[in-house]
Amino acid sequence: MNKITSITLIIIFFLFSSLNANEISVLEITESDFVVGNENAPITIIEYASMSCSHCASFHNNTLGDIKTEYIDTGKVRFVFRDFPFDYPALLGSMVMQCIPKDIRYDYMNALYMLQHNWIFRENTKTKQELYKIMQSGGMTKNEFDSCLSNADLENYILEGVMAAQKEFDIRSTPSFLVNGKLIEGNKNIKEFRQIIDKILSE
């Protein structure tokens, strides 16, 4: 009985190890990621954000622009945007952003954060109505909008990304940042980001 149990445990161990070996770390940047900046930049920052999160909006409205000017546009930082929706409105916003071409997604994303109070509501129907008004002004048709939000594969992709981040780095709040693989939690102002980034660049 003990021998059988031991063998079974060994088999389970190797199967588990094999499964883990095949898993891709969230630190791996893939073609499906939304990235701005030089792929060879010495620093990679991965942001996990919820589009209904006020602290995430504060980061995008008040800090991201300075990071882009000082570090992204100068080739020092590659910035990766990842979805971490905490509620249904945030999930809707994330899905719509995934349906926007990457070459214009940055501006759309920041616009949604800036207009957060215009489209985030408790009533899901109201959220969809107001979100569509914003996307319509940018040229998205009603059919495109509805098709995007009914895409089950897209929804699963976003939620799988959330689970992967929770599993590997125990991310529980937004915004959270992985700076060259180190977890930095909470909204930070530009001075705090300068300290973090400049310290890495000086090493």
CA distance 95 to 149: 6
* pLDDT tens digits for range 73-96: 999 999 999 999 999 999 999 999
In angstroms, how far is CA 84 from the centroid of its own chain?
Answer: 6
> Would you say residue 9 lies in a domain?
no
> Would you say residue 12 lies in a domain?
no
Is 60 exceeded by the pLDDT of residue 8? no
27 versus 8: the higher-pLDDT residue is: 27
> Would you say residue 160 lies in a domain?
yes
> Would you say residue 65 lies in a domain?
yes
pTM of this structure: 0.86
Q: Residue 13 — very low, low, confident or very high, per pLDDT cuts 50/70/90? A: very low
Total domain count, the chain = 1
- Indicate which CATH number applies to the domain containing 49: 3.40.30.10
Is 60 exceeded by the pLDDT of residue 56? yes
Structural domain boundaries enclosing 171: 35-202
Count the alpha carbons within 13 Å of 75 in the hemisphere toward its beta carbon.
1
Within 10 angstroms of residue 12's Cβ, the number of other Cβ atoms is 10
> Would you say residue 105 lies in a domain?
yes
- Comparing C-alpha atoms, which of 128, 134, 129 is closest to residue 113? 134
> Would you say residue 1 lies in a domain?
no
> Would you say residue 58 lies in a domain?
yes
